[in-house]
Structure 1
């Protein structure tokens, strides 16, 4: 909605300039500067509230919240008043905690003096009047949780999500539907451009469908495969209600080369992204998009993974046989582990949910070199799968890889760390019992390499994507038994190709996660040439039903991730031009 407001403001400005209404234009500019609703930009509203908090401006904070309450919150149904009240209480507590953390006891006492008449009768504030008189409130059992980073981040994310959904549901702007129509038309145009790239398809479309001016008409999407479910109603499509509404899409553009990995940490607060130049960015997107750390590496990097406990730690696998443990808050390396000189390429890392250990896949150099444009690894290249202790920083054991040591491309734990699934360059999936540290079963899964593996939501099955372009669901209770199989297009499985000028082509083999599930395991997000695609998992032979195209990319998407929080979730799609898109979704309750 924010972008729609800004676009309309620009149209109004152009009209006033065209008509020569300079005085009116000046008044418009002044009104825009004084706009308390910030053009319905949630990030701007959050910024304004935080400015009041950081500057100890209690009067400004109260006045601004009162304005939002009268202008926006009062329009809500009564059932939402309790949510608004809880957010107001949390906002005041956020203010108080900031005064204590900054050592401004005068402002702490001022708050309770000015708010005493309003808060004394409220049960939520009964214990808080003693806070100014406690020497170390951050250590007090009644208040310690409010001094944690997790509490403040959770509050800001909740407020951000509440405002985002509010603006989407209030229908303040009638012209926003026109913006959605325009977005739909732009996506249809992008489909036409893709058709033009294939001369034969272009010829068929041109010969079968011609308009009055001889132009190719937009292809008609079937009701089961909408181009974008979030605006399908605006486009006049008749179909069932989509499972998600795309609320917004933002771009992180700090990388200057193709992305290899893009992962959200366990808490959903930070993102780590790695490009082919070895540059790692650690950044947040709630309440605002902000880079927290930049990590430069002299040696090539090939893999990364967030630790689970504590979640601020990042594991970085190199191409010279080392794994680094990096503290993203202190912005420094804690340890550097030498894995194996004979197997220097760290292809995959997976941290146990318990936080006590991680598995590391190490492989020898490929015969064709270590470049990303070369085929990944021939199956004759040997590899090791190792278990390391994160506390002692020592190797615990080496797993047996039957029938022969082979490069493991991908690894994933189940929810409690009792099972580990791996996909290898020989096309074999191996399932390990992590209580006995031995192989429970293995089977030939794909013709060619296994690129990506994940457990299903109920953990009775495993999904995999391979070099053969197949997306397969396997029953882990019956070795090698398929439950479903689907052929995916090449732009979902790789190798990924980015065409340039004068016939130049950049080729990248899969490195990061090629698919990921929503919080309930009912939908899967995959890569595509112009953005992420979301499918509904179905039973039977046709395992995938396309429900939403996220779009937004001008280069092939090479890795994805999905961060879920309450009803709002954020899909991350990273592409070969270094752009990462964050699409915020609202789940529709069925």
Structure 2
């Protein structure tokens, strides 16, 4: 009962804090301190009664017992009234015995008790012999009263009172306001577990359905033998996408890679060849299986799919509400839409509409990292003051935990299994494993004193290990000063076992040890890509724990690096302001190259009055893909920008500006646990915007 009340009080406090009702929360704390029921804590009630007895506060003792009688005992059935009366009698006797045992006030306090209680007690048979007690010289030796002076009797009474109150509270409904509180808690817990099981089942079914698809054969370069005949996407997947995608005469590079790297309900990036009215029936069969109109909601994303009735149509996406006519009007004036219409293809104009934008404003300084966990349920954000907030946004935006650190924090990453754990990298050579549910540190690992700056963390998809990038201090001695030095500092890339909390190995960084700024695993953890301060991208074979290839990617440092969806290419953003796509089958060969504005690549600058100027070097993710790998979210000075990936020039085609920020956005993330839907953009003024999107195409 006491724990349930404490949980309820904590929920009320969190709600008041979330609403900003600080005065109400102060009044709540004051009243909780003066609470006579002590939060239904039996031990505290017993302590209060004993305090009245030891202080000879007869009035306080009587008032407190009357309060308990009015609030608690009167709700009991009549059969328990005799038990309550016996406990009250024993409590008064416990008081009288205490007055006699204290020599200094023996006679006065004892006589005072009987004088004040005479009218109440003289008619009660159990008190008839006790009125002579003040006049007996040594009552503790009198056979009639000696048992009450023993330690055994007092202990027995206190234990009996404790047990009675405990049973009483267990049988009561909490606060008599929510009689089903514990049942609701158990119900929510079971529903959460059931949702997690269904999510895992969905993933398994998607994986099994794609495990049967075959990949093509290609000649690779320096990649290991075990990936020679592997492609993440099979031909069946490409046929499905081809029946629903527009025309493009330029195809992607050879894609025969990773057939064992099973897709998770996503689609291949880039545009695929258009199918005209003469497309084969097998390519159009997927669309004909659906009902004429299908409205789908996945997470924060709404989709309406209109299945063609004619054999020659390849499928059309119908937007919801007023957006439908606007989208069709803009499509009629678009070159790409016109070409698709002539061939019976899809409209690809304006793939997203911003439905809403919420703000998380619990941080008071610039954000460094902002990451969504694997399940898409929680967000962890880190600011430059070292404060970490763990919060959720579905169904409501709510802070779950606040983590403060004495040492500066430079990096964070969600663990994959279980996804409630956070990896926190500091500026003093330590990595902490933090449980966001229990709100406590599980482990703290000492990485390397000579390389104290933990710049990047990445957890393997299996959750059994994580890589840690550690760098030496800069010449200024700062753990995270503004622009980095032209000459890269020394660094290490280490692999740690999550279960044993021990270092497994140190990777070789050729041509010289250098600080690794960013790291990313592919979907099954067989490959690791890193971007370093020397401008080099390194690809590691995680089965052999050795470098598979490396190439100079940027003039200056590599700030952010990610695998493409099909994992045949790697994207990177560097200090030179370029967004580049690299073919990992042909070492160092670019597939696309585009210059981005400085507000998308950093260093980020925030100016103010009287010459105030704040400069921040990129630390978090600078770009993020949607669940299909077709679109990319980047930073800007006023909010996130969404581009469509193309295979021509330019490599990026702007499709949507999210806006909403008054300071430069420094890191982004795209929640794609199930499908594209929620974009996170975090800025230098500590504000995080959560934009919910409407997807207009399948």
- From 565, 568, 575, the equivalent of 1:457 is 565
Residue 224 of structure 1 deviates from its aligned partner by 8.1
Residue 409 (structure 2) pairs with residue 329 (structure 1): no
Residue 610 (structure 2) pairs with residue 502 (structure 1): yes
Deviations 1:409-468 (A, max 9, x none): 000000000000000000000000000000000001000000000000000000000000
Residue 687 (structure 2) pairs with residue 579 (structure 1): yes
Give, in whole Å, the separation in 2 of the partners of 1:474 and 1:450. Answer: 13
Partner-residue secondary structure (3-state), 2:672: strand
Residue 324 (structure 2) pairs with residue 279 (structure 1): no
Residue 515 (structure 2) pairs with residue 398 (structure 1): no
Residue 620 (structure 2) pairs with residue 512 (structure 1): yes
The answer on whether the counterparts of 1:372 and 1:507 sit within 8 Å (CA) in structure 2 is no
TM-score normalised per structure 2: 0.53
Give, in whole Å, the separation in 2 of the partners of 1:147 and 1:284. Answer: 14
Residue 99 of structure 1 deviates from its aligned partner by 9.8
Residue 588 of structure 1 deviates from its aligned partner by 1.1
Residue 350 (structure 2) pairs with residue 242 (structure 1): yes
Structure-2 change in CA distance of 1:533 and 1:164 (3 Å): closer
Residue 526 (structure 2) pairs with residue 418 (structure 1): yes
The answer on whether the counterparts of 1:279 and 1:295 sit within 8 Å (CA) in structure 2 is yes
Could you say what the CA RMSD is over the residues aligned between the two structures, in angstroms?
A: 3.2
Q: Map of 1:304-383 to 2, 5 A cutoff?
A: 304-370=412-478, 372-383=480-491
The answer on whether the counterparts of 1:264 and 1:272 sit within 8 Å (CA) in structure 2 is yes
- From 74, 89, 102, the equivalent of 2:182 is 102
Give, in whole Å, the separation in 2 of the partners of 1:579 and 1:304. Answer: 18
Deviations 1:181-220 (A, max 9, x none): xxxxxxxxxxxxxxxxxxxxxxxxxxxxxxxxxxxxxxxx
Other-structure match for 1:436: 544
Other-structure match for 2:362: 254
The answer on whether the counterparts of 1:493 and 1:514 sit within 8 Å (CA) in structure 2 is yes
Give, in whole Å, the separation in 2 of the partners of 1:511 and 1:336. Answer: 22
Unaligned stretches of 5+ in structure 1? 1-97, 106-136, 181-222, 226-238
Other-structure match for 2:665: 557
Residue 564 of structure 1 deviates from its aligned partner by 2.3
Give, in whole Å, the separation in 1 of the partners of 2:650 and 2:534. Answer: 26
Q: Map of 1:12-411 to 2, 5 A cutoff?
A: 102-103=182-183, 146=191, 148=193, 150-151=195-196, 165=302, 241-370=349-478, 372-411=480-519
Give, in whole Å, the separation in 1 of the partners of 2:430 and 2:196. Answer: 35
The answer on whether the counterparts of 1:492 and 1:526 sit within 8 Å (CA) in structure 2 is yes
Partner-residue secondary structure (3-state), 1:502: helix
Give, in whole Å, the separation in 1 of the partners of 2:189 and 2:544. Answer: 40
Deviations 1:114-158 (A, max 9, x none): xxxxxxxxxxxxxxxxxxxxxxx99xxxx997461745998xxx9
Residue 375 of structure 1 deviates from its aligned partner by 1.6
Give, in whole Å, the separation in 2 of the partners of 1:404 and 1:510. Answer: 23
TM-score normalised per structure 1: 0.63
The answer on whether the counterparts of 1:279 and 1:294 sit within 8 Å (CA) in structure 2 is yes
Give, in whole Å, the separation in 1 of the partners of 2:512 and 2:417. Answer: 33
The answer on whether the counterparts of 1:160 and 1:287 sit within 8 Å (CA) in structure 2 is no
Partner-residue secondary structure (3-state), 1:491: helix
Give, in whole Å, the separation in 1 of the partners of 2:606 and 2:558. Answer: 22
Structure-2 change in CA distance of 1:542 and 1:147 (3 Å): closer
Give, in whole Å, the separation in 2 of the partners of 1:397 and 1:322. Answer: 17
Greater mean deviation of Cα atoms: 253-262 or 375-384: 375-384
Give, in whole Å, the separation in 2 of the partners of 1:369 and 1:542. Answer: 41
Give, in whole Å, the separation in 2 of the partners of 1:492 and 1:419. Answer: 27
Give, in whole Å, the separation in 2 of the partners of 1:553 and 1:301. Answer: 25
Give, in whole Å, the separation in 2 of the partners of 1:466 and 1:147. Answer: 41
Residue 408 of structure 1 deviates from its aligned partner by 0.4
Partner-residue secondary structure (3-state), 2:666: strand
The answer on whether the counterparts of 1:379 and 1:406 sit within 8 Å (CA) in structure 2 is no
Give, in whole Å, the separation in 1 of the partners of 2:184 and 2:569. Answer: 55
The answer on whether the counterparts of 2:334 and 2:349 sit within 8 Å (CA) in structure 1 is no
Structure-2 change in CA distance of 1:393 and 1:100 (3 Å): farther
The answer on whether the counterparts of 1:408 and 1:424 sit within 8 Å (CA) in structure 2 is yes
Other-structure match for 2:146: none
Give, in whole Å, the separation in 1 of the partners of 2:660 and 2:498. Answer: 39
Partner-residue secondary structure (3-state), 1:435: coil
Structure-2 change in CA distance of 1:299 and 1:587 (3 Å): same
Partner-residue secondary structure (3-state), 2:401: strand
Structure-2 change in CA distance of 1:462 and 1:102 (3 Å): same
The answer on whether the counterparts of 1:284 and 1:291 sit within 8 Å (CA) in structure 2 is yes
Give, in whole Å, the separation in 2 of the partners of 1:146 and 1:306. Answer: 23
Other-structure match for 1:448: 556
Residue 503 of structure 1 deviates from its aligned partner by 1.3
The answer on whether the counterparts of 2:380 and 2:390 sit within 8 Å (CA) in structure 1 is yes
The answer on whether the counterparts of 2:297 and 2:303 sit within 8 Å (CA) in structure 1 is no
Partner-residue secondary structure (3-state), 2:600: helix
Residue 370 of structure 1 deviates from its aligned partner by 1.9
Partner-residue secondary structure (3-state), 1:581: strand
Give, in whole Å, the separation in 1 of the partners of 2:503 and 2:485. Answer: 25
Give, in whole Å, the separation in 1 of the partners of 2:467 and 2:682. Answer: 25
Partner-residue secondary structure (3-state), 1:102: helix
Residue 586 of structure 1 deviates from its aligned partner by 1.5
The answer on whether the counterparts of 1:451 and 1:511 sit within 8 Å (CA) in structure 2 is yes
Residue 160 of structure 1 deviates from its aligned partner by 9.2
Give, in whole Å, the separation in 2 of the partners of 1:159 and 1:281. Answer: 32
Give, in whole Å, the separation in 2 of the partners of 1:380 and 1:496. Answer: 20
Partner-residue secondary structure (3-state), 1:492: helix
Partner-residue secondary structure (3-state), 2:667: strand
Deviations 1:45-101 (A, max 9, x none): xxxxxxxxxxxxxxxxxxxxxxxxxxxxxxxxxxxxxxxxxxxxxxxxxxxxx9998
Give, in whole Å, the separation in 2 of the partners of 1:479 and 1:163. Answer: 39
Give, in whole Å, the separation in 2 of the partners of 1:567 and 1:442. Answer: 32
